[in-house]
Structure 1
Amino acid sequence: MQLTIRVRPRLAALAVLLLVAFIAVTARTALAATPLTVAQAIATQNGTSQTVTGYVVGEPVATTTVNRSNFTGDLAIALADSASETGTTKMLYVQLTTEWRAAGGLKTNPSRLATKITVTGTLTAYFSHAGQKSPTAITSGTPDPDPTTTTPPPTSTTTSPTDAYYANALGKSGAALRSSLHSIIKTQTVLTYDQVWDALKDTDQDPNNANNVIEIYSGRSIAKSDNGGGVDQWNREHVWAKSHGDFGTANGPGTDVHHLRPEDVTVNSDRGNLDFDNGGAAVNQCSDCWRDGDSFEPRDAVKGDVARMILYMAIRYEGDDGWPNLEPNNSVANGTAPYIGKLTVLKAWSAGDPPDAFEKRRNQVIYDTWQHNRNPFVDHPEWISSIWP
């Protein structure tokens, strides 16, 4: 005998609907649990709504142009899988619609640079570039369990590795930012002038030859052991000339390795105590450095480094701890006064030559091993225009 079971049509339809709903919820939960990387989002420009996690690396202003400082607006941010990424082909351009601009844009919130965020939105071209438009959620850390839920934009984030160090400065600008940074970075271990030799052999080590250091102006790789005062040796260059404020080699500004660098003895002598500006004649043994009677121009690859070292000194040494009050100005004839120029040129150099891997490593080594303070303008070059508009 054959047994026949009949299922009512309405019950069958209900079962199908429940199954579809279960699959949809499961798929949505899986999506929320595993946001895309930026690389995956770039490869998935299909108009679907997806959740992406990455680091804020700049402000897109054109198809192949992203500002990493001197931000001009709050209309968009660029995300990458690495906080130090500079290649635009590895970035996702994220549109910031009106409700997200005040809290998410870099012009208003420059401290968001290098922070890690999660965005839910439509993966589609923006600025004729791989992008994400019409965001419905922007959060720090892990994404919202339901990516269709609109989460209010955060007022601040603290996901950058250095945010804890700069906690009292984040969100500030102008004089308030300057005061906070001074209070933060003046807490340091003060080295002796003899200790500077060992520090520079560590901070300026050639990444391709652990036995050498890189000279800042000439760019030459030279044996760590070949240091001293002889011709073709390297010695300790005070980027903020030690006569500008007359602090010499005194423990403190005279031994602060945030502005002391290895340099060829002859080139160091040619630079002397000149201020910084563009132009002049080529320097002996440094054909891509220039000098005239009152100024020195370093090679292009370290112009930003020089600027950020000078501006560090101005924030670190404010005259409240027995050392001179150092300050950049727009003169190139400062003599022994505690000033150095030209500020407008230094700002342009910093904008044109953002921190590279060598400079960032140097800042970290000084913090970890030697002075235990940081150069804030290596970590946040955008703060320069806030303090010196």
Structure 2
Amino acid sequence: MPAPIVHRRIVALLIPVLAGLLVASVTVLRAPSAAAATPLTVAQAISGQTGGSGTVVGYIVGEPTATDTVRFSSFTGDTALAIADSPTQTSTSSMLYVQITSSYRSAFGLATNPSNVGRAITVTGTLTAYFAHAGLKSPTAMAFGTTATTSPTATATATPTATSTTDTYYASALGKSGASLKSALHTIITTGDTSISYDAVWNALMVTDQDPANSANVILLYSGISRSKTLNGGATGNWNREHVWPQSHGDFGTANGPGTDLHHLRPEDVTINALRGNKDFDTGGTAVSGATGNYTDADSWEPRAAIKGDVARMVFYMAVRYEGDDSWANLELNNSTANGSNPYLGKLSTLLAWNTADPPTAAERTRNQVIYSNYQHNRNPFIDHPEWAASIFG
């Protein structure tokens, strides 16, 4: 009969010990979720593909479509984002691919919201490969800015806020489209901008179009040739100042304003510049000697493939910047290649196609930033948001 008493005493002694073990187990299980709440940079998230939960802060830069391919414009879906630590990042190795589940697509999908590019975002989810690339899947919270929310509905209906440098600059244009967007952008890029003299353009182009492989040279626009900065002038073999929107299409000459606007002035070989003349832009014609990849006929010019989008975005800018309210002609785009000396330029349908086929490059974005920071203090919005071209001109 004494044995049961001993057993009861042993059980009584073990109960506190077991309770302590359970408390310890609960403490250990909770520790990972606390760590997962610590915000990570995109670089940290890329190097920390552990399969655990993480919260990442970055900038939306595009739509991933394959392991090493990201769309920067003309988005086709709402199911994935590429984010980076810089809003101008173009290298996929520095991007994190983010899965967008159904409850977040209406607010964050790029096909539905192309103007989200460049915005800061905070997202929480599983740090694991997506598209066979460093990724974040099954998000539990997504929000613009630096604080995520677990309520997709609240995020989708919230008023967009300016969270990155370009968001702040374009704050009054966000959410607009068509004529309203064009008007808002015109106000933004004319407010506080600075014009330079035509003589000052020489030195400015030596900075904005410097050859990244040779600081003593500039890259010529149409020909793509690297040429010494000192060979600027009007002689054969020199480079001079090409007006991508021809001076005669608006009769603005070389006075401060459209005649000296760096957003459409580029270095070009004197002979090639003369061959282009004041022709509109379109496809076709005969090959241009001395400028491989360019073609021309009686009334149009087709630039090489690598700069077709650059050309389109330059003239989109001019048509928005110069609206006839600051003593200059109202520059407009149309679908003609016979504009002569009228303040019009074409061919609009071709330019829109070029903008889509040749999205902004890192070099183009850098040039835009240099003009903004060092010279005119305004930006080309179609480099920052190439999707706006279709909204305004499409």
Q: TM-score, normalised to structure 2's length?
A: 0.88
Distance 1:301 1:190, change over 3 A: same
Out of 137, 154, 161, the residue aligned to residue 141 of structure 2 is: 137
SS at match of 2:267: strand
Shift of residue 63, structure 1, vs aligned partner: 5.7
Shift of residue 193, structure 1, vs aligned partner: 1.4
Q: For the Cα contact (< 8 Å) 1:45–1:131, is it kept in 2?
A: no
- Which letter maps to 2:104? W
- Which letter maps to 2:231? D
Distance 1:37 1:374, change over 3 A: closer
Q: Which residue of 1 aligns with 2:320?
A: 315
- Which letter maps to 1:51? T
Cα distance in 2 for residues equivalent to 1:365 and 1:131? 32
Q: Which residue of 2 aligns with 1:99?
A: 103
Q: Which residue of 2 aligns with 1:177?
A: 181
Q: For the Cα contact (< 8 Å) 1:204–1:362, is it kept in 2?
A: yes
Distance 1:255 1:142, change over 3 A: closer
- Which letter maps to 2:276? R
Distance 1:38 1:153, change over 3 A: farther
Distance 1:94 1:42, change over 3 A: farther
Cα distance in 1 for residues equivalent to 2:184 and 2:39? 39
Q: For the Cα contact (< 8 Å) 2:90–2:361, is it kept in 1?
A: no
Q: For the Cα contact (< 8 Å) 2:118–2:167, is it kept in 1?
A: no
Shift of residue 372, structure 1, vs aligned partner: 1.0
Cα distance in 2 for residues equivalent to 1:333 and 1:235? 25
Is 1:232 the counterpart of 2:234? The answer is: no
Q: Which residue of 2 aligns with 1:331?
A: 336
- Which letter maps to 2:107? A
Out of 222, 225, 242, the residue aligned to residue 227 of structure 2 is: 222
- Per residue, is there more helix in 1 or in 2? 2
Cα shift readout 1:236-286 (whole Å, capped 9, x = no counterpart): 100001111121212211111111111100000010011111111111211
Cα distance in 2 for residues equivalent to 1:167 and 1:296? 36
Q: Which moved more, 1:91-100 or 1:327-336?
A: 91-100
Distance 1:62 1:30, change over 3 A: closer
Cα distance in 2 for residues equivalent to 1:36 and 1:364? 23
Is 1:76 the counterpart of 2:80? The answer is: yes
- Which letter maps to 2:386? P
Moved over 6 A (4+): none
Distance 1:359 1:64, change over 3 A: closer
1:218-367 matches, cutoff 5 A: 218-367=223-372
Cα shift readout 1:291-329 (whole Å, capped 9, x = no counterpart): 111111111111111111000000000111111111111
Out of 146, 149, 153, the residue aligned to residue 155 of structure 2 is: 153
- Which letter maps to 2:88? S
> Gapped runs of 5+ residues in structure 1?
none
Q: Which moved more, 1:232-241 or 1:116-125?
A: 116-125
Shift of residue 6, structure 1, vs aligned partner: 10
Larger Rg: 2
Cα distance in 1 for residues equivalent to 2:54 and 2:19? 29
Distance 1:265 1:387, change over 3 A: same
Q: Which residue of 2 aligns with 1:196?
A: 201
Q: For the Cα contact (< 8 Å) 1:42–1:131, is it kept in 2?
A: no
Cα shift readout 1:140-188 (whole Å, capped 9, x = no counterpart): 44455xx9x5564263243322221111111211111111000011131
Q: Which residue of 2 aligns with 1:55?
A: 59
Q: Identity over the aligned pairs, expressed in percent?
A: 57
Q: For the Cα contact (< 8 Å) 2:308–2:354, is it kept in 1?
A: yes
Distance 1:224 1:128, change over 3 A: closer
- Which letter maps to 1:318? E
Cα shift readout 1:101-130 (whole Å, capped 9, x = no counterpart): 222122332222122322222345555665
Cα distance in 1 for residues equivalent to 2:67 and 2:214? 37
Cα distance in 1 for residues equivalent to 2:320 and 2:39? 43
Cα distance in 2 for residues equivalent to 1:204 and 1:36? 32
Distance 1:179 1:231, change over 3 A: same
Task: Tell me the matched-pair count.
Answer: 381
SS at match of 2:37: helix
Out of 108, 115, 123, the residue aligned to residue 111 of structure 1 is: 115
- Which letter maps to 1:334? N
- Which letter maps to 2:13? R
Is 1:374 the counterpart of 2:376? The answer is: no
Is 1:121 the counterpart of 2:144? The answer is: no
> Gapped runs of 5+ residues in structure 2?
1-9
Q: Which moved more, 1:356-365 or 1:16-25?
A: 16-25
Q: Which moved more, 1:264-273 or 1:378-387?
A: 378-387
Distance 1:254 1:100, change over 3 A: same
Cα distance in 1 for residues equivalent to 2:316 and 2:264? 10
Distance 1:206 1:63, change over 3 A: closer
